[in-house]
């Protein structure tokens, strides 16, 4: 294999589609590393990232990326090597990303809340050469986690720590004279992003320089992002929404400024909006609600804010209606997915569209189908499954042939698992979900993954995890459990799952014990009935008793 071939295990676009996307000017043949270089040449002294008291210019970010790239390369990290990156909202995140992009190595983006189960899986599955993380974040010592990961994954060659390294290598010590590295090609995989998932293990999403660059360049246009944009990253920067819709990468492309918030709470975010004159910020619905409530009696000047983006989960009309009066900003609904397709309401859309729909795709070449259970298109305006294909939607997950055969149609449409309706004007309204997932305020929980952890408990005979309505998060998770013999305490089961080293948001919010599960006509567990049961709190009718 030559230095620049696409990563094995990554399905890609058929050549006829690739040619069309290039022809249409979507895929421009640039790489992320080149984008940063171009901005640094144009305006080296302009601030790219504000992180607390640190201000990092485009020139500095570019130089640091080069030096870090050279240092990583000297450690033996090369093109197509995978590196699991788990960093909070700190400037080092971008230094590491751009250094890896320059080498052609691939970040595998983990979230700060991921724990041993997830991190060791990402390292093992992606055969990662290195794991980059932080010292202590939100009271959790990631170096302890790193030691556990290292013990569990012998193939992991390096652990790098941003901050106090303990016994590991400090990221800041990885530094060498810039070398002339060959760099990736635009069609190469740039990184592996995480899927929200609906299966037992999270899937990895291969995104290319060409396709991803298009998604945030086009997003910039839709979201009015130019060199004057000041983007506040309050959501975890490794997530696709704050990364590319248009997010931090879009803002770098435009030569604007990224302001990092370590935590999304109003007492951290509002002073930053005021001090940095933030123009654009993205939130998941519960966070938007928290900000709206706090903004009603804040002393902070939030008048610089032009646009509040809300996405990741459905924004209720009630929340949507408050944005303009309370913040004086334009609401933009964002319905996207790490697999690709992103929909936006446009900034000049009529109010009703902004308040009641999740917008429309970025690209004229985003193909969107709304189909019934047999993949036949439903009449316009009716509800059905959303399938999509286009210039920045993947054609398959990384090393997942079997799953890909189910998650994509034979002609390459991605089955989003979302149930939607298309309005007469062509906007999408998300009506529900067919995938076995809980959307916990924007954080996605794959039911099967959690069920597998519950099943590992000796007193659990069977487990089914479903969503239950929650006034704040929209949904929380409820685990229905058929016990083997005497049921354990719900608390004990919850602790058991947590102790298996799982991200906190995946730990069931509630446990209900039942004697048996309701079944569908074909004898499968009827999750619809379980959802209805928890909603009505009619658990006793299923022959069980309350947990806790």
CA 434, CA 299: separation in Å to the nearest integer? 43
Retrieve residue 228's tokens: 């004057």
Retrieve residue 148's tokens: 């556990």
Nearer to ligand OOB (CB atom), residue 133 or residue 439: 439
Give min distance, CB of 529 to ligand OOB, in A.
22
Q: Which of 72, 334, 370, 447 binds ligand OOB (CB under 6 A)?
A: 334
Q: Which of 122, 270, 335, 517 binds ligand OOB (CB under 6 A)?
A: 335
Retrieve residue 393's tokens: 């939607």
Give min distance, CB of 207 to ligand OOB, in A.
12
Nearer to ligand OOB (CB atom), residue 353 or residue 481: 353
Place of tokens 């640190």: 54
Give min distance, CB of 539 to ligand OOB, in A.
27
Q: How many residues bind ligand OOB (CB under 6 A)?
A: 22
Q: Which of 126, 199, 245, 357 binds ligand OOB (CB under 6 A)?
A: 245
DSSP state of 313: S
Give min distance, CB of 176 to ligand OOB, in A.
35
Q: Which of 120, 126, 208, 333 binds ligand OOB (CB under 6 A)?
A: 333
Listed residue (401, 53, 34) closest to 253, CA to CA: 34
CA 531, CA 528: separation in Å to the nearest integer? 5
Listed residue (118, 116, 51) closest to 89, CA to CA: 51
Q: Which of 65, 119, 289, 337 binds ligand OOB (CB under 6 A)?
A: 337
Compute φ and ψ for 512, nearest 5 degrees.
-125, 130
Q: Which of 312, 361, 396, 487 binds ligand OOB (CB under 6 A)?
A: 312
Find the part of the chain contacting ligand OOB (CB under 6 A) among 19-27, 35-43, 328-336, 401-409. Answer: 328-336
Give min distance, CB of 105 to ligand OOB, in A.
23
CA 337, CA 196: separation in Å to the nearest integer? 8
Burial of 178 (0-12, 13-18, 19+ CB in 10 A): middle
CA 418, CA 497: separation in Å to the nearest integer? 28
Nearer to ligand OOB (CB atom), residue 71 or residue 384: 384
Q: Residue 270: count other Cβ atoms within 10 Å of its Cβ.
A: 20
Give min distance, CB of 155 to ligand OOB, in A.
28
Find the part of the chain contacting ligand OOB (CB under 6 A) among 62-70, 168-176, 239-247, 476-484. Answer: 239-247
Q: Is the peptide bond before 543 cis (omega within 30 degrees of 0)?
A: no
Find the part of the chain contacting ligand OOB (CB under 6 A) among 5-13, 331-339, 445-453, 464-472. Answer: 331-339
Cβ-contact 515, 482 below 8 angstroms: yes
Nearer to ligand OOB (CB atom), residue 109 or residue 125: 109
DSSP state of 94: H
Give min distance, CB of 340 to ligand OOB, in A.
9
CA 132, CA 107: separation in Å to the nearest integer? 9
Give min distance, CB of 120 to ligand OOB, in A.
22
Find the part of the chain contacting ligand OOB (CB under 6 A) among 71-79, 228-236, 237-245, 517-525. Answer: 237-245
Q: Residue 297: count other Cβ atoms within 10 Å of its Cβ.
A: 6
Our finding on whether 311 is near ligand OOB (CB under 6 A) is yes
Nearer to ligand OOB (CB atom), residue 416 or residue 467: 416
CA 246, CA 195: separation in Å to the nearest integer? 19
Our finding on whether 117 is near ligand OOB (CB under 6 A) is no
Q: Which of 336, 361, 390, 412 binds ligand OOB (CB under 6 A)?
A: 336
Entry field: residues in the chain: 548
Strand order in the sheet with 460-470: 460-470, 474-483, 510-513
CA 191, CA 416: separation in Å to the nearest integer? 21
Our finding on whether 418 is near ligand OOB (CB under 6 A) is yes
Q: What angle do CA 185, 64, 41 make, to 5 degrees?
A: 70
Task: Report DSSP letters for 10-55, one per residue.
Answer: -----HHHHHHHHHTTS--S--HHHHHHHHHHH-TTSEEEEETTEE
Our finding on whether 444 is near ligand OOB (CB under 6 A) is yes
- The CB-nearest residue to ligand OOB is 336
Our finding on whether 416 is near ligand OOB (CB under 6 A) is yes
Q: Which of 120, 240, 248, 279 binds ligand OOB (CB under 6 A)?
A: 240
Our finding on whether 430 is near ligand OOB (CB under 6 A) is yes
Find the part of the chain contacting ligand OOB (CB under 6 A) among 31-39, 206-214, 240-248, 250-258. Answer: 240-248
* Cα 189 to Cα 159, 182, 193, 362, distances in angstroms: 23, 15, 11, 21
Give min distance, CB of 473 to ligand OOB, in A.
13
Nearer to ligand OOB (CB atom), residue 412 or residue 547: 412
Site for ligand OOB in 124-183 (CB under 6 A): none
Q: Which of 110, 281, 342, 407 binds ligand OOB (CB under 6 A)?
A: 342
Site for ligand OOB in 472-531 (CB under 6 A): none
Find the part of the chain contacting ligand OOB (CB under 6 A) among 115-123, 162-170, 310-318, 525-533. Answer: 310-318
Our finding on whether 358 is near ligand OOB (CB under 6 A) is yes
Cα torsion at 121, 123, 124, 127 (round to 10°)?
A: 150
Q: Which of 253, 306, 314, 421 binds ligand OOB (CB under 6 A)?
A: 314
Our finding on whether 191 is near ligand OOB (CB under 6 A) is no
CA 182, CA 180: separation in Å to the nearest integer? 7
State whether the Cα torsion 12-250-446-355 is positive or negative. negative
Interface residue list for ligand OOB (CB under 6 A): 196, 240-241, 245, 311-314, 333-338, 342, 358, 416, 418, 430, 433, 439, 444
């Amino acid at each position: 294999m030559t230095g620049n071939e696409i990563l094995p295990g990554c399905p890609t676009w058929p050549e006829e589609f690739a040619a069309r996307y290039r022809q249409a000017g979507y895929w421009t043949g640039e790489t992320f590393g080149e984008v940063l270089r171009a901005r640094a040449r144009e305006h080296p002294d302009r601030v790219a990232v504000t992180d607390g008291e640190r201000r990092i210019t485009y020139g500095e970010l570019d130089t640091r990326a080069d030096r870090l790239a050279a240092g990583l390369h000297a450690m033996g990290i090369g093109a197509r090597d995978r590196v699991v990156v788990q960093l909070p909202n700190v400037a080092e995140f971008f230094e590491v990303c751009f250094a890896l992009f320059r080498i052609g190595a691939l970040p595998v983006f983990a979230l700060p809340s991921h724990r041993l189960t997830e991190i060791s899986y990402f390292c093992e599955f992606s055969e990662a050469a290195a794991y980059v993380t932080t010292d202590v974040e939100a009271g959790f010592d990631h170096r302890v986690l790193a030691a556990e990961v290292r013990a569990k994954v012998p193939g992991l060659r390096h652990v790098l720590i941003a901050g106090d390294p303990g016994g590991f290598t400090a990221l800041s010590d990885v530094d060498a004279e810039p070398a002339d590295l060959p760099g990736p090609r635009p069609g190469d995989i740039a990184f592996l992003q995480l899927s929200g998932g609906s299966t037992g293990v999270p899937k990895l999403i291969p995104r290319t320089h060409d396709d991803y660059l298009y998604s945030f360049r086009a997003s910039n246009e839709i979201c009015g992002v130019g060199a004057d944009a000041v983007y506040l990253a309050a959501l975890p920067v490794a997530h696709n929404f704050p990364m590319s819709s248009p997010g931090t990468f879009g803002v770098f492309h435009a030569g604007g400024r990224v302001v990092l918030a370590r935590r999304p709470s109003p007492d951290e975010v509002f002073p930053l909006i005021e001090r940095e004159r933030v123009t654009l910020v993205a939130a998941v619905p519960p966070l938007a609600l928290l900000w709206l409530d706090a903004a009603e009696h804040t002393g902070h000047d939030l008048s610089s804010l032009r646009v509040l983006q809300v996405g990741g989960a459905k924004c209720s009309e009630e929340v949507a209606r408050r944005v303009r009066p309370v913040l004086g900003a334009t609401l933009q609904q964002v319905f996207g997915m790490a697999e690709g397709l992103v929909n936006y309401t446009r900034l000049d859309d009529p109010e009703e569209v902004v308040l009641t729909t999740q917008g429309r795709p970025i690209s004229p070449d985003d193909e969107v189908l709304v189909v019934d259970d047999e993949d036949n298109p439903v009449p316009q305006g009716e509800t059905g499954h959303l399938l999509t294909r286009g210039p920045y939607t993947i054609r398959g997950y990384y090393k997942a042939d079997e799953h890909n055969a189910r998650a994509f149609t034979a002609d390459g449409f991605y089955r989003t698992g979302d149930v939607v309706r298309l309005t007469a004007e062509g906007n999408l309204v998300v009506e529900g979900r067919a995938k076995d997932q809980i959307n916990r305020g924007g954080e996605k929980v794959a039911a099967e993954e959690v069920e597998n952890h519950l099943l590992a408990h000796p007193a659990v005979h069977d487990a089914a995890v479903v969503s239950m309505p929650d006034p704040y998060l929209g949904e929380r998770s409820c685990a229905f459990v058929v016990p083997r013999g005497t049921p354990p305490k719900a608390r004990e089961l919850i602790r058991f799952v947590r102790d298996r080293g799982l991200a906190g948001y995946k730990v069931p919010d509630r446990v209900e014990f039942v004697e048996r599960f309701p079944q569908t006509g074909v004898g499968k567990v009827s999750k619809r009935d379980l959802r209805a049961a928890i909603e009505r709190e009619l658990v006793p009718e299923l022959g069980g008793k309350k947990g806790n």
